[in-house]
Amino acid sequence: MMESRDVPSAATSEVDARRLAARKIAFIFPGQGSQFVGMGKELAGKYSIARQTFEEADEALGYKLSQVCFEGPEDRLRLTEITQPAILTVSIAALRILEGRIPKPSLVAGHSLGEYSAHVASGTMSFADALRTVRNRGKYMQEAVPVGVGTMAAILGMELEKVVAVCQEAAQGEVCAPANINSPEQIVISGNTAAVERGAKLADERGAKRAKLLPVSAPFHCSLMKPAQDRLEADLDALKTQKPVYPVVCNVEAFLVVDERRALETLVAQVTGSVKWEQSMRLLIGQGVQTFVEIGPGKVLCGLMKQIDRSKTCLNVSDEASLNKALEHFAS
């Protein structure tokens, strides 16, 4: 007769299930706005794999991106066609340092531009191809709308349904739409300058905690970006891609992409579509993810996770101190 200690109890099975769930992690990658002068410099100075990543970027782009990241000047780093490959490079440099030191992710995601970092992490496209694509993406976005014609505004502390209603009323024949649904506390709207200004004013009047215009160079993630979308689609169609190793959450519809054709379609749609970040994170939480690792400059996404679900662990990796903290977390 089998002894009782050989039969796992329901309680033991439940503990094992919780342990498995606790090990389910997602890598998430930041988008534009996370950049700062000096990003990646410390990692490149200490880790040869990070240094090599910056050298690859310099070669792929034909200029010293590494120098702009490490030394600035800030106004050059803020140029969209430089910002986008710069953030991608810092993210992939940090990712390569982490690989083999922490568990592999179950799923990956990225905020807007960060979705390209997620696809590089998942092997959908090569690092060099992604760099050239996001450089062009930034250029096309900047050229799609003349400076001053469009803008964006952050609406804080207002429900999505109310923000949608505000945008519809503020449009008055122009474009005004939710662009980034970042968290229950933060939604960014985008469109023609006058329409977005009307939207911000209406949101203020209707109870938003705050509505503020953002210092951006173009109205991203709205229909005004259609010329950029058309140009980028041709670039993406020409890329050599592979089936993602890890499912990638696409921003535009907040679902899991598991094949390369769908990956490209969603990256095209993302140019004019809104970034459904809150819904994307809730999808990952629904998949059982307990630990999120934000890989790249800053910790914007960890800040948003606190607004989405404070019970989840979110670690950021952007420099030596945050890297060590993440490694300690997984070692324990």
Active site residue 48: no
Q: What is the pTM of this model?
A: 0.92
Which member of 34, 112, 190, 274 is catalytic? 112
Active site residue 119: no
Residue 17 confidence (pLDDT): 44
Beta strands in 111-247 (DSSP E): 150-156, 176-183, 186-192, 210-213
Alpha-carbon gap, residue 269 to 258, rounded angstroms? 17
Mean of the per-residue pLDDT values of the chain: 93
Q: What is the pLDDT of residues 34-51, one digit of tens each?
A: 999 999 999 999 999 999
Quick one: which of 121, 122, 102 has its CA closest to 315?
A: 102
Taking the CA atoms of residue 263, residue 267, residue 273 and residue 276 in that order, the dihedral angle to the nearest 10 degrees is 60
Residue 217 confidence (pLDDT): 82
Question: DSSP characters for 84-135?
Answer: HHHHHHHHHHHHHHHBTTBPPPSEEEESTTHHHHHHHHTTSS-HHHHHHHHH
Taking the CA atoms of residue 206, residue 301, residue 272 and residue 77 in that order, the dihedral angle to the nearest 10 degrees is 110
Which member of 119, 221, 318, 322 is catalytic? 221
Q: Which domains does the chain possess?
A: 21-145+223-331 (3.40.366.10), 150-213 (3.30.70.250)
Q: What is the pLDDT of residues 218-234, one digit of tens each?
A: 899 999 999 999 999 99
Alpha-carbon gap, residue 29 to 203, rounded angstroms? 30
On the question of pLDDT at 64 being above 50, the answer is yes
Quick one: which of 79, 97, 4, 96 has its CA closest to 35?
A: 79
